[in-house]
């Protein structure tokens, strides 16, 4: 089995699950103790971070990641925080939006992660880091047609476009399955034909944009000598959160403004 198609979404899903569980447990504990306890905990974190930085800098296998890995992670955190701010404001007006946010963000992040991993693996196999394949270098990667229709002169981009279209086709059935699960647990009263159509349209647009960004971003990072495996997915999942929150808020806004329930 191709790990690019399996390992990335499984790791992302488990990452979300473990993160939410640890965050809930930790927040519950810290909320129940005196705030002064938070200060030594933060100091301990800083000391641990300094120690880990020292050890990582002495290891040739981790030194490069330590040097280049912070920018995408911190940038992704800032982008995700912006998406979180949008979502928090939307939840105050549309409480039901919270049930759909993990789905729309999770599906998009997993699908675009697969595409980014595939392209990155392809580059590692066929090119030297910092140098784009000649056929790819001649193409305008900003053109969405290249992402979804490929290029006659570049078989590599054509293969990637087939994968992009297949991943895009998974959006609708994937969201339908999750929406049915939400309906079974929370009731189908919030669903209507119009809502489902607008919601699915937003999900398709979200994933389409992310797949196009993935195609451009992975090649751009590679051309600059940055390993896309370390940098691309944090950016893409963060943008998925941002777009997901914005599009989801837009769906509920349209439903309420035009009374389409």
Nearest CA to 121 among 87, 149, 159, 151? 159
**Which residues 6+ apart lie within 8 Å of 94 measured at CB?**
249, 252, 253, 256
Pick the range with the lowest mean pLDDT from 11-20, 186-195, 240-249: 11-20
In a domain, 48, yes or no: no
Top pLDDT among 69 and 232 is at 232
Nearest CA to 132 among 215, 207, 194, 34? 215
Average pLDDT over the chain reads 90
In a domain, 40, yes or no: no
Domain assignment of residue 201, given as a range? 69-257
Q: What angle do CA 95, 79, 12 make, to 5 degrees?
A: 80
Structure confidence at residue 217 (pLDDT): 95
Structure confidence at residue 227 (pLDDT): 86
Range 43-79 burial, b when 16+ CB lie within 10 A, else e:
eeeeeeeeeeeeeeeeeeeeeeeeeebeebeeebeeb
**Which residues 6+ apart lie within 8 Å of 9 measured at CB?**
110, 111, 113, 114
- 188's enclosing H/E stretch is none
- Under the banding of pLDDT at 50, 70 and 90, the label for residue 230 is confident
In a domain, 169, yes or no: yes
pLDDT for 54-106, tens place per residue? 998 898 878 877 777 778 888 888 998 888 888 888 888 888 898 998 899 88
List the structure tokens of 258.
């035009």
- Strand, helix or coil for residue 34: coil
CA 145 – CA 254 distance, rounded (Å): 29
Total domains in the chain come to 1
pLDDT for 24-49, tens place per residue? 999 999 999 888 999 999 999 999 99
In a domain, 245, yes or no: yes
In a domain, 109, yes or no: yes
- Under the banding of pLDDT at 50, 70 and 90, the label for residue 197 is very high
**What proportion of the chain, given as a percentage, has pLDDT over 70?**
100
Is residue 207 scored above 70 in pLDDT? yes
Is residue 233 scored above 80 in pLDDT? yes
> Within 10 A of 137 (CB to CB), how many other CB atoms are there?
12
In a domain, 152, yes or no: yes
In a domain, 35, yes or no: no
List the structure tokens of 63.
């030194």
> Residue 226 belongs to a domain with what CATH number?
1.10.357.20
In a domain, 60, yes or no: no
Is residue 198 scored above 80 in pLDDT? yes
Top pLDDT among 243 and 68 is at 243
**Entry pTM:** 0.85
Structure confidence at residue 261 (pLDDT): 66
CA 234 – CA 241 distance, rounded (Å): 11
pLDDT for 116-154, tens place per residue? 999 999 999 988 989 999 889 889 999 999 999 988 888
Is residue 7 scored above 90 in pLDDT? no
For residues 82 and 245, is the Cβ–Cβ distance under 8 A?
A: no
């Amino acid at each position: 089995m191709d790990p690019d198609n399996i390992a990335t979404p499984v790791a992302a899903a488990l990452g979300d699950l473990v993160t939410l569980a640890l965050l809930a447990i930790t927040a519950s504990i810290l909320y129940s103790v005196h705030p002064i306890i938070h200060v030594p905990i933060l100091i301990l974190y800083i000391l641990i971070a300094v120690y880990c930085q020292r050890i990582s800098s002495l290891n040739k296998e981790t030194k490069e990641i330590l040097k280049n890995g912070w920018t995408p992670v911190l940038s992704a955190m800032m982008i995700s925080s912006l998406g979180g701010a949008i979502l928090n404001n939307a939840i105050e007006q549309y409480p039901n939006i919270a049930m759909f946010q993990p789905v729309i963000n999770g599906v998009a992040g997993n699908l675009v992660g697969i595409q980014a991993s595939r392209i990155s693996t392809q580059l590692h196999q066929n090119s030297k880091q910092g140098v784009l394949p000649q056929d790819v270098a001649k193409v305008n990667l900003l053109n969405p047609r290249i992402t979804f229709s490929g290029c006659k002169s570049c078989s590599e981009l054509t293969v990637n476009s087939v994968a992009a279209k297949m991943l895009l086709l998974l959006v609708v059935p994937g969201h339908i399955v999750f929406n049915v699960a939400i309906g079974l647990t929370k009731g189908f009263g919030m669903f209507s034909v119009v809502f489902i159509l607008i919601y699915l349209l937003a999900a398709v647009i979200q994933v389409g944009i992310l797949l196009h960004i993935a195609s451009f971003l992975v090649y751009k990072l590679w051309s600059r000598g940055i390993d896309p495996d370390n940098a691309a997915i944090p950016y893409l999942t963060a943008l998925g959160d941002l777009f997901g929150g914005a599009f989801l808020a837009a769906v509920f806004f349209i439903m309420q403004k035009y009374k389409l329930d």
